[in-house]
Structure 1
Amino acid sequence: MTTSTATPTVVLVHGAFADAASWSEVIAELQRHGIPVIAPPNPLRGLAADAAYIASVAAQTDGPVILVGHSYGGALITVAGTTENVVGLVYVAAYVPEEGESLGELQGRFPASPLVSNLKQWTYPVPGGDPAVEVTIAEDAFPSVFAADVPTDVTKVLAVAQRPLAASAFEERAAAAAWQTKPSWALVAGADEAINPEVQRFGAKRAGATVVEIAGASHAVAVARPTEVAELIRDAVRATG
């Protein structure tokens, strides 16, 4: 039986246009401090389905869990965080929606980021239905929009290894807002060109999160500034463990 003194397992949820490898340096930092960590794949097929997947990962993890969401992953942990063994939420350059709110509505409160005009549409097959739309960031715009403070040779690789997000994810409404009952922390990337920093600040303040802001940080803050990202996660672990 797990006691309340158990160190929470950190579950790192990547966002759109990335994969779990984007957490690599953060994982290494957490492991150096003896913190158990899992970085599952995020299906990127829709808010409800993806949140259900992350909730299932949390529910099958022994002991307390801290969910960490980057970007779109923030919306997923907001919903999945209602899982009983989740004890805290950490938002990293992320969306923090309210129950019943879509990402489109949350973004729409503020000026659009450069991301919006640099999305490329693709289609993918859906069994028994018409093809669905998914989006990536235009390859030439990826470095400036997603990872301006990451070395160019790295961003060239990341740009062609993007994982697309189903376009419908922007219109789905969050079925719950776990931050209403669970403690939360948020890292705002001050120079984010993918999610307007004002969107990040607004959501974090509304959630009553403990906020850290990194001036000059791009959307890829977990790649560029892993030590600072890991430190905020460690703060959450210390507060809930």
Structure 2
Amino acid sequence: MNPRRIGTLVAAAFLALSGLATAAPAQAADRPTVVLVHGAFADSSGWAEVAARLTADGYPVRTFDNPLRGPAYDSRALEQFLAAVTGPIVLVGHSYGGVVITNTHDPDVRANVYIAAFAPERGQRMLELLNPILYPGSLLLPPALLAGPVPDPASPAGVNLDAFVTEPFFREVFCQDVAPAKAAEMFRHQRSAAVVTNVEPTENPSWATTLSWYLVSGQDRVIPPALQRATAARVAPDRTREVDASHASYASQPSAVADIVRAAAG
């Protein structure tokens, strides 16, 4: 073969391979970063199986250590966290984490995903939403739920009144569909939440201007499924799914949670 012809073919092959090499990172760069926000009585470790599934699909995943000090404090902390994330973002909030993402505003957030979560309107308080007359069925009541003083550097007094789920009731109330050993592990990772999280009103809700998705937990004993369905109809019409799961669907049904996050990210 003509040496010049060989050189032309080699150059063409090199350019083709170079194009492939640059195309793959560009495609990966198009994927939004998924930021997972846990709720009360949990920590970021609970997202491990969801994060693993999304990471395997090529999504950058970050977990946010929710301070659980109140909507205003926690949403400011989340906004500071998001400021360090480059590119588009999908925010995922579980339970009270839904209140936090509702109060969070960042121009890079392309979608909100609510997982068995609260999504209050402006001026609403979480305690108002858990109305046992309109939406009966929550087992998050004493003696399963107790409160006590805890050290809190975020409080001017250095101490706060925090609520927590007691060990004898934790699995029954929070995650009845996971194995007892898994429930025990989740209990050990439980973080208490300041009582003010229940009574502090929401500011302008982010779901009013951001496309949102909602995954209802059909066997939830913390947030009654009827309340979740009503919330989903308001904030995520036509973008709602339901899974036969406890409140902790991220632990018992991680594939279903990952699936709806993919839908929002797509």
- TM-score bin, normalised by smaller chain: over 0.9
Q: In the alignment, which residue of structure 2 is the partner of 1:208?
A: 236
Matched, 1:113 2:138: yes
Deviation digits for residues 131-162 of structure 1 (CA, Å, limit 9, x no counterpart): 42101111100001001110001112222331
Q: In the alignment, which residue of structure 1 is the partner of 2:199?
A: 171
Matched, 1:104 2:127: yes
Q: Which has the higher contact order (CA 8 A, sep 6+)?
A: 1
Percent of paired sites with the same residue: 38
Aligned-pair RMSD on alpha carbons? 1.8
CA distance in 2 between partners of 1:83 and 1:128 (Å) = 28
Q: In the alignment, which residue of structure 2 is the partner of 1:40?
A: 64
Matched, 1:20 2:48: no
Deviation digits for residues 91-111 of structure 1 (CA, Å, limit 9, x no counterpart): 001111111111011222422
115-124 or 14-23: which moved more?
A: 115-124
CA distance in 2 between partners of 1:21 and 1:15 (Å) = 12
Matched, 1:237 2:242: no
168-177 or 202-211: which moved more?
A: 202-211
Q: Is the 8 A contact 2:214 2:236 kept in 1?
A: no
Q: Is the 8 A contact 1:113 1:193 kept in 2?
A: yes
Q: Is the 8 A contact 2:46 2:186 kept in 1?
A: no
CA distance in 1 between partners of 2:159 and 2:59 (Å) = 42
1:112 offset after TM fit, Å? 5.2
Deviation digits for residues 159-197 of structure 1 (CA, Å, limit 9, x no counterpart): 233100001100001112111111000000000001111
Q: Is the 8 A contact 2:71 2:200 kept in 1?
A: yes
CA distance in 1 between partners of 2:122 and 2:253 (Å) = 30
CA distance in 2 between partners of 1:162 and 1:235 (Å) = 29
Q: TM-score, normalised by structure 1?
A: 0.92
CA distance in 2 between partners of 1:208 and 1:229 (Å) = 15
2:106 maps to a residue whose letter is: T
CA distance in 2 between partners of 1:150 and 1:50 (Å) = 28
The structure whose Rg is larger is: 2
1:200 offset after TM fit, Å? 1.2
- Give secondary structure in 2 for the equivalent of 1:134: strand
Q: In the alignment, which residue of structure 1 is the partner of 2:175?
A: 147
1:130 offset after TM fit, Å? 7.4
Q: Is the 8 A contact 2:136 2:224 kept in 1?
A: yes
Q: Is the 8 A contact 1:59 1:84 kept in 2?
A: no
1:75 maps to a residue whose letter is: V
Which 4+ runs in 1 deviate beyond 6 A?
A: none
**Aligned length, in residue pairs:** 234
- Give secondary structure in 1 for the equivalent of 2:81: helix
1:128 offset after TM fit, Å? 4.8
Q: In the alignment, which residue of structure 1 is the partner of 2:6?
A: none
217-226 or 114-123: which moved more?
A: 114-123
Alignment of 1:217-236 (within 5 A): 217-236=245-264
CA distance in 2 between partners of 1:106 and 1:42 (Å) = 21
Q: TM-score, normalised by structure 2?
A: 0.84
Deviation digits for residues 68-126 of structure 1 (CA, Å, limit 9, x no counterpart): 0001000111111x211111000001111111111011222422500123211121235
- Which structure features the higher share of helix residues? 2
127-136 or 160-169: which moved more?
A: 127-136
CA distance in 2 between partners of 1:45 and 1:193 (Å) = 23
CA distance in 1 between partners of 2:61 and 2:189 (Å) = 24
